[in-house]
Amino acid sequence: MNADIHPALVGSLSASNPSVRLINFSPGPASLPKAVEREIAASFNKPGLTSLALSHRSPEFQKILDHTIASVRRVMDIPDDYAVLFTHGGGHGQFAAVPLNLCRNRSDLATYVVNGTWTQRARDEAQRYCTVQTIDGRDSAGGYTTFPELSEAHIDANSKYLYMCSNETVNGIENHRLPKLPESRRHIPLVIDASSDFTTKPIDWHGDRVGVLFACASKNIGHPGATLTVIHRDFLGPDKASPLCPGVFNYTTNVEAGNLWNTPATFNIEVIGYLMDWLEREGGVAENERRCIAKSRLIYDVIDNSGGFYGTPVPNKALRSRMNVPFNIKGGDEALTDEFLITSWDEGIIGLRTLTPFGVGDYLRASLYNAVTEEDAAFLADFMQRFASRN
Amino acid sequence: MNADIHPALVGSLSASNPSVRLINFSPGPASLPKAVEREIAASFNKPGLTSLALSHRSPEFQKILDHTIASVRRVMDIPDDYAVLFTHGGGHGQFAAVPLNLCRNRSDLATYVVNGTWTQRARDEAQRYCTVQTIDGRDSAGGYTTFPELSEAHIDANSKYLYMCSNETVNGIENHRLPKLPESRRHIPLVIDASSDFTTKPIDWHGDRVGVLFACASKNIGHPGATLTVIHRDFLGPDKASPLCPGVFNYTTNVEAGNLWNTPATFNIEVIGYLMDWLEREGGVAENERRCIAKSRLIYDVIDNSGGFYGTPVPNKALRSRMNVPFNIKGGDEALTDEFLITSWDEGIIGLRTLTPFGVGDYLRASLYNAVTEEDAAFLADFMQRFASRN
């Protein structure tokens, strides 16, 4: 790190003053709720083996795995005709796994809604394994600020699936409910990248015809290393996947082996279990959605009432992300943005800028995942208001 | 769990008596050295964010990543012309990744030495992506108890690589040094699955012409979720991998992105760093090899001096694994084996039998990874001797 550059400007997550309480608005990996952190710390102090040492084939780990899956099923109301699997390789792993499991042949069609960084990357990866048709979500200026219309004309009736990301983290675009396909295309299952919004709103699994949904752990439900993948059993069977599908990505192989075809990320799965238990104690997904609406409204209200001091890129309020609020300062004023980062960092507000290779322009991003409380969001909103008044 | 079956017989890792010190001989996931466990517990109590919450793009995580890689390089004396990468998907992920990175075309040849469970699985997976020639390591009875001769006649000169596992965990067969290929085949790089013996002996990277070596973390160097992969830079470049290689498995893509092409298993990498630091403090790989020889000798000596009470399947002592000692009792006597498991479990000896789907016949296995001390191995040896005297 260049010693001349203030740590806040290169995404430092350390406290400038150790007595300051840190509030982590990072887009992920993100913090875990304090209660979950305490449970993890306690798990290292209990008698017997630590969780890191449990064999995946021990009855002790089987209990953790069963508990975590049952807890996820209850929290997200996942019907029995879906399998729940913890997969390797993060969301990017699923970018390959989805076409490799759902398209047996390279000539099979798949439709991708591309309206941001993650759907772009998912589409690029899918093109190795199937024939992709893209629904281009760019706006008239060529940017990603919206979700395109899903009209019959854009969706081939033979598509094996329609792929979308329910929350485009980088671009701040969210579908608060899954879109309905046109009547004549309702037979096509949805594949949902829910990496950054899973557990923050209900999913109507059957009504929305969800085929596959995946969520990497490191935003709302855990830490990096395990990805939660929910698969309708229609997509399981001996001849479903492409022969090119690596075993470690093969849904059927892994479901049949009870998630133990190879060693899963045991501790990471245990942490997801703690998170799900916490969500249940906190009132489940309905209460969590209320909180997410409230947290994001606090920030968007400051932006919208700032008389143009703050800007946010998504014009349609119905599509604004509750998870990631991108905002710039006086149209991207560099000096003011740096001052904002440094002064907020001094108050313990961290993670607003990460050194991502995905251009986010002048935008900072406040990510409001499960560990960020309403009080935390109010603290940031208050800081933003004070900063605007000063400048 | 069937209440009628004693926990020891189904691989329970819990203490029967909480005051008993547990010694975990599990084949993996395995325990971490006590000193490393203490460092992890401490990392959850330090001020600031817990390690689980660090963004992979923060300067704080970059420091952890750089430190871990530098430490692995020092411990294993890895030359600069090798890249070190933490990959997703465990050893099984690398079973696919290796051919997908080293064979651009399906017609490319690769030679697999198959002498146990893991090389069998690796070979089966490779057959999806390249043309495999197998050197069959079965003995005259059809079992895996040896390492086959690597003669010129068995290795096609056009092989892209020769694949082997330096320690076959299930079968208890280890190459204490990597084999030399015949002179006319020295141009063929070795690919080594060192999942269960990495850090327990030196590797002559250039002398042995290692092309790729990988080690899943959960045996000697950490916990499940990250795999250490060492790649000679000859295998990196824009047109090296197959176009079918998933991005998450592509060595070039991931090395070029500084291991941040997608979110790596941040905490798992930190733990590997603690483990490497511990190894350095404990005297490095030379001292560790001395310990591994000593630990395994304690067990093999009891077996060999038991007058046939204990048996072990690998006749050639030069190939007996220092990591995993398979042994049976009176030729596999079921009642005596159960009694051994129950009475040893009462003394805190756990992990000798795991419910693996890979048939290990009547054999129990004592795995002697880095967390198992010489005292621990002596404790097991002493128990074995007492048990034999009683019966």
Mean pLDDT (whole number) for B107-134: 98
Q: β-strands A131-136, A82-87: how paired?
A: unpaired
Contact present, B115 and B137 (Cβ < 8 Å): yes
How far apart, in Å, are the Cα atoms of A22 and each of A19, A35, A41, B181?
9, 16, 18, 57
Predicted confidence at residue A275, as pLDDT, reads 98
Mean pLDDT (whole number) for A79-99: 98
Contact A15 B47 (CB under 8 A): yes
Contact B22 A48 (CB under 8 A): yes
Superfamily for the B7-30+283-390 domain? Aspartate Aminotransferase, domain 1 (3.90.1150.10)
User: How close B298 comes to chain A (CA, Å)?
Assistant: 24
Buried b / exposed e over A275-311, threshold 16 CB at 10 Å, is: bbbbbeeeebbeebbebbeebbbbbbebbeebeebbb
| Phi/psi at A233 (5° precision) | -65, -15
Chain centroid to CA B205: 18
Question: In whole angstroms, what is the distance from residue A254 CA to residue A228 CA?
Answer: 13
pLDDT band, residue B185 (cuts 50/70/90): very high
Which residue from A49, A56, A267 is facing B31, i.e. has the nearest CB? A49
| Phi/psi at B385 (5° precision) | -65, -45
Whether pLDDT at A241 is above 70:
yes
* A219 a catalytic residue: yes
Assigned CATH for A7-30+285-390: 3.90.1150.10
Question: In whole angstroms, what is the distance from residue B331 CA to residue B352 CA?
Answer: 17
Question: In whole angstroms, what is the distance from residue A299 CA to residue A387 CA?
Answer: 13
Handedness of CA B38, B40, B42, B45 (dihedral sign): negative
User: How close A197 comes to chain B (CA, Å)?
Assistant: 17
How far apart, in Å, are the Cα atoms of B137 and each of A220, A382, B145?
48, 69, 8
Chain position carrying tokens 């871990």? B68
Query: Does this complex have an ipTM over 0.90?
Result: yes
Predicted confidence at residue A1, as pLDDT, reads 43
Chain B residues closer than 8 Å to A88 by CB: 88-90, 93
| Phi/psi at B295 (5° precision) | -60, -50
Q: What is the pTM of this model?
A: 0.97
Which residue from A92, A100, A129 is facing B262, i.e. has the nearest CB? A92
Element (H, E) at A329: strand A324-329
Which residues make beta-bridge pairs with A325?
Answer: A366
Which residue from B27, B54, B90 is facing A13, i.e. has the nearest CB? B54
pLDDT band, residue B244 (cuts 50/70/90): very high
Mean pLDDT (whole number) for A51-74: 96
Predicted confidence at residue A3, as pLDDT, reads 57
Contact present, B355 and B13 (Cβ < 8 Å): no
Q: Which fold has domain A42-280?
A: Aspartate Aminotransferase; domain 2 (3.40.640)
Contact present, A235 and A83 (Cβ < 8 Å): no
Predicted confidence at residue A15, as pLDDT, reads 77
CA angle at A296 for the pair A68 and A116, rounded to the nearest 5°: 80
Backbone dihedral region for residue B240 (phi beyond 0: left; psi -120 to 50: alpha; all else: beta) = alpha
* A376 a catalytic residue: no
Give A102-138 pLDDT, tens digit per residue.
Answer: 999 999 999 999 999 999 999 999 999 999 999 999 9
**Residue ranges per structural domain of chain A:** 7-30+285-390, 42-280
Element (H, E) at B167: strand B167-168
Contact B11 A47 (CB under 8 A): no
Chain A residues closer than 8 Å to B44 by CB: 37, 40-41, 44
CB pairs under 8 A between A and B: 244
* B234 a catalytic residue: no
Question: In whole angstroms, what is the distance from residue B72 CA to residue B272 CA?
Answer: 9
Mean pLDDT (whole number) for B68-92: 98
Predicted confidence at residue B3, as pLDDT, reads 56
Contact present, A81 and A285 (Cβ < 8 Å): no
Give A333-389 pLDDT, tens digit per residue.
Answer: 999 999 999 999 999 999 999 877 766 668 999 999 999 999 999 999 999 999 999
CA angle at A70 for the pair A66 and A73, rounded to the nearest 5°: 140
Predicted confidence at residue B46, as pLDDT, reads 81
In 3D space, the residue among B154, B251, B257, B173 whose CA is nearest the CA of residue B211 turns out to be B251
| Phi/psi at B84 (5° precision) | -115, 130
Question: In whole angstroms, what is the distance from residue A262 CA to residue A56 CA?
Answer: 9
Whether pLDDT at B269 is above 70:
yes
Lowest mean pLDDT among A131-145, A243-257, B44-58: B44-58
Asked if domains A7-30+285-390 and A42-280 share a fold, the reply is no
A51: Cβ–Cβ under 8 A, 6 or more apart, which residues? A43, A44, A64, A266, A267, A270
Contact A58 B90 (CB under 8 A): no
| Type of residue found at B56 | H
| Type of residue found at B167 | N
Which residue from A10, A55, A223 is facing B267, i.e. has the nearest CB? A223
Contact A56 B29 (CB under 8 A): yes
* Residues of chain B above pLDDT 90, percent: 92
